Amino acid sequence: MVAAALHEAIAYPAVGAALDIEHVNHAFDIDGVVLPVLEDVSLAIEPGEFVALLGPSGCGKSTLLRLVAGLEKPRSGVLREDDIRITGPHPSRVVVFQDPTLFPWRSVWDNVALGLEAQGILKSQRQRVDAAIDLVGLSAFRKAYPHQLSGGMAQRVALARALVNDPKVLILDEPLGKLDSLTRITMQAEIVSLWQRKGFTTLLVTHDAEEALFLANRVIVLSDRPARVKADIRVDRPYPRHRGDPYLADLRRQILGLLGLDATW
């Protein structure tokens, strides 16, 4: 009892981890043809940074996320989390995918509990599930099944399912890509506030320059496939940011120029 209470009191120091990506190359075999997707990508991400990876569709940014998550191993190069080599998935690095991919046979509560259950610590940590559901504002939907939720609610559940693990790195793979624009704007603000409160390192893949600039304090622009780091832009603006900020508009023009879309501006 005392140990459990003490455990709770410490409250899981949710400090972000540093990520080091060093000379990573990756390729896919498609019917015997080798298709390079990442070419000598190196990045050093500070603990607690919010980094957006921006690039044209299909350039390999999601692949880079999968490598960071440990879902795949790079062909060459090294990835490290807090100086420990990443060899496989770990609940300290959690991914929120473009589709919520909730398990349809589990209620909202059971979906959020998934990580703790998989790690075998659910029995003693049930209150963390409730807390995570409260955090995304879905307390009234604990018992609902995924098919009863709207797209935005489902993505919120996916976010809670990630956050319940108190990750050191939150990996967001275009999590707002399929939502309607209003829900998207709301959730962008929510993600910023969660990140500020929890202090985890965030890696966001997006193809929306405005979203990247609104959320991140560092935007990495990737080239067309095979992806190389084209630019590393610091977004030195306080939060909450304003979409009409001329400084951000200027950066946006710059970024679209890097992506070869300057003709439209």
Q: Pick the closer one to other proteins by CB: 109 or 214.
A: 109
Residue 41 touching other proteins (CB under 8 A):
no
Q: Pick the closer one to other proteins by CB: 63 or 223.
A: 63
Residue 103 touching other proteins (CB under 8 A):
yes
Residue 249 touching other proteins (CB under 8 A):
no
Q: How far is the CB of 261 from other proteins (least distance, A)?
A: 30
Beta strands in 31-167 (DSSP E): 33-45, 50-54, 76-81, 84-85, 93-96
Q: Pick the closer one to other proteins by CB: 44 or 118.
A: 118
Q: How far is the CB of 110 from other proteins (least distance, A)?
A: 10
Among 13, 104, 238, 246, binds other proteins (CB under 8 A): 104
Q: How many residues bind other proteins (CB under 8 A)?
A: 28
Q: Pick the closer one to other proteins by CB: 65 or 191.
A: 65
Cβ neighbors of 209 (< 8 A, separation 6 or more) are 54, 219, 252, 255, 256, 259
Query: Smallest Cα–Cα separation from 52: which of 231, 181, 225, 186?
Result: 231
Residue 151 touching other proteins (CB under 8 A):
no
How many alpha carbons lie under 13 Å from residue 59 in its C-beta half-sphere?
Answer: 21
Phi, psi of 39, deg, nearest 5: -125, 110
Cβ neighbors of 1 (< 8 A, separation 6 or more) are none
Q: How far is the CB of 101 from other proteins (least distance, A)?
A: 5
Q: Which of residues 56-95 bind other proteins (CB under 8 A)?
A: 69-71, 88-91, 93-95
Instruction: Specify whether the backbone of 125 is left (phi greater than 0), alpha (psi in -120 to 50) or beta.
Output: alpha
Residue 136 touching other proteins (CB under 8 A):
no
Tally of CB atoms within 10 A around 175: 26
Residue 147 touching other proteins (CB under 8 A):
yes
**Partners of 220 in beta bridges:** 53, 232
Residue 175 touching other proteins (CB under 8 A):
no
Among 4, 44, 118, 261, binds other proteins (CB under 8 A): 118
CA separation for the pair 226, 72 (Å, rounded): 17
Residue 117 touching other proteins (CB under 8 A):
yes
Phi, psi of 100, deg, nearest 5: -60, -25
Q: Pick the closer one to other proteins by CB: 114 or 215.
A: 114
Single out the segment in contact with other proteins by CB under 8 A; choices: 41-49, 117-125, 182-190, 205-213: 117-125
Counted residue by residue, the chain has a size of 265
Cβ neighbors of 202 (< 8 A, separation 6 or more) are 16, 49, 50, 51, 169, 170, 171, 172, 191, 195, 216
Residues in contact with other proteins by CB under 8 A are 69-71, 88-91, 93-95, 97, 99, 101, 103-107, 114-115, 117-119, 145-147, 161, 165
